Structures are given as structure tokens and as C-alpha cells.
Structure 1
Amino acid sequence: MHVELLGGTVDVDAGLIDAPDGEIREQVAAYAAGDRREFDLPVAVPDDFTGDVMAAMAPIPYGETRTYGDLATELDTAPVAVGQACGHNPVPIVVPCHRVVSAASLGGYSAAGGVELKARLLALEAR
């Protein structure tokens, strides 16, 4: 499903979320409006490296970031591998890959709108 927010489009694999599409859209809209800081959507995390990275990203609190290196240390892997897994996150926003940044920059963002959308998401959370 395509979810529009803050001038970008995020592809969310609704098949991994145990909730109706309308509920997913409502929660994302509330997040974008600044009325929601956490999602109440059960996510089926894949049983692979991307799933391991998703599990490490999920608890990053609203308004905070971690570096690819932070997660790499936690998972005993390389920052580049973490970045690649972030780019394969099937449920961005719900599992907050936008909160994972490079040590020297914002890093990348796979959603339409790219790094500019990532910057807007982080700015929303900084309010």
C-alpha cells in the first residue's frame, strides 16, 4: 500500500501488519499530524537479517536517532549491512528506519522523497 505523508510516498507492506488498511492509514495520518508518537500495529518481522535490523529499529523512541554503527554493534555486523537492511524495511514509518542515520549525515532513505522526506520526518519528531 502507498501511504502519503509530508510530501512523500512510503510503500508499506500491509501484508506484514495485522490490521485493516484503514487503521494503518489512520495511524500514519495521526503520526504525520503530530498526534501519534507510537504505532499500535502488530508487525510480522521477517525471519532474516532484515528482520533482525527491524527488531533493533523498532524500539528507537520518537524524536531520537541511532546510527547505522550503533545498530551494527548491537547486531555484531557492519554498518553498511545495517544500511542495506534499513533500505529493505518493508514497513517504513511503522518500523522507524528514518530514525537510523549515518555518523556523518542523514544517510539514505528508500521511500519516494528520499533523504528530503527523512529530514522532514525527523524534523516532525523534533518538535
Structure 2
Amino acid sequence: MNCSESIICVQRYPSPCGELLLGSTGDSLCLCDWTGPVARHERIMRRIAISCRGRVVDSSSQVIDRAVGQLDEYFSGRRQLFSLPLRLIGTDFQQRVWLKLLEIPYGSTVSYLQLASMLGCPGAVRAVANANGANPISIIVPCHRVIGSDGRLTGYGGTIPVKHRLLTLESSIIH
């Protein structure tokens, strides 16, 4: 299906770490989110539907098909960088954070404090953490690569065990 700007196509993707919901509008991916917890997921879906002024339809699209292929490659250790057109739906600050996440190399991690400093606002650690947590395009916009200053795994929409699995996958491929 060709998803226009007023239609948001969504399709479920059964990843090895749990179910993801992929979404596109126009020719851009706007969603790659874990299907639970429900409250977080519903909040993201509402934000996307309102921002796109569109209705959600259960259907695939060309960009979703490409995302599925690239996610399959990622989970099998054959892809380290995604090449998909993205539509980042959020506040200007959230979008700045998400764009900065794209600069964190595969197999690497940064702390929330380091990420805030990279953005030029070291005093905004909590705001950066909140923006990181609101990322609607998990894995592809690698919010899982952000950890606590003490090295602990903290906050992740896909759960801490999933974050650990993703970081382990990435570190095992590059070492």
C-alpha cells in the first residue's frame, strides 16, 4: 500500500527480542516501537496520529518492507547501520536528541550526561533522558545505547533485559 501523509500504515514485526510495531507515513518510517507497555505505546501512537493528522491502518508499505529486511539483517548480525528515510515526530528538543542518538556508533554506549554534553546542554540530563525515553523509532534511532553514568543499564521502553540483549548483540559482532 502507498501510505500518504494522511494515512499511517502499521505492521507488527516479531523480533527475536519481542514484538515491534512498525509505522510509516508517506515514504518515511515514523515508528518502530515495542508493543508494551500499553500506556507508553498508546501515547506514542496518539502523538503520531495527531502530528500526521492521519488515521492508522493495518497495512504494510514499501518503507516498512525495507525496515523489516534491515531489522532482520540487524538481528542476524549483518547490519550495523540503517538506511531508511525517517520522520521524527516530536518536539524540536526531542528531535535534536534523536538526531544525536544516530551519531552513537554501533557497539558503543554513552551516558545520559555525555549525551546532554554532546548536545551542548550538560545541565539538561533529565530532559535528555525523557526525550530518549520518548523515542518512537527504537533500535533504528539507537536509544538503547544510552546508559547511566555509573555504567548501569537504565530505562528502556523495550525493558532492561531487551536493552541488555541489544547491547550484547552489538558488542559480540564487533569484538
TM-score (norm 2): 0.65
Deviations 1:60-86 (A, max 9, x none): 111001111011112214211111111
Higher strand residue share: 2
* Structure showing greater relative contact order (alpha-carbon pairs closer than 8 Å, 6 or more residues apart): 1
Deviations 1:76-114 (A, max 9, x none): 142111111111101111110011111121111012xx0
Instruction: Describe the shift of the 1:69–1:3 C-alpha distance in structure 2 as closer, same or farther (beyond 3 A).
Output: farther
Equivalents in 2 of 1:98, 1:38: separation in Å? 14
Instruction: Describe the shift of the 1:42–1:65 C-alpha distance in structure 2 as closer, same or farther (beyond 3 A).
Output: same
Residues 1:20 and 2:63 aligned together: yes
Q: SS of the residue aligned with 2:140?
A: coil
Q: Give the corresponding residue for 1:86.
A: 132
Equivalents in 2 of 1:38, 1:92: separation in Å? 13
Deviates more, 1:12-21 or 1:63-72: 12-21
TM-score (norm 1): 0.87
From 81, 106, 129, the equivalent of 1:38 is 81
Question: Gaps spanning 5+ residues in structure 1: where?
Answer: none
Question: Gaps spanning 5+ residues in structure 2: where?
Answer: 1-10, 31-61
Identity %: 34
Deviates more, 1:99-108 or 1:12-21: 12-21
Q: Give the corresponding residue for 2:20.
A: 10
RMSD, matched Cα:
1.8
State the aligned residue count. 125
2:82 partner amino acid: F
Rg larger for: 2
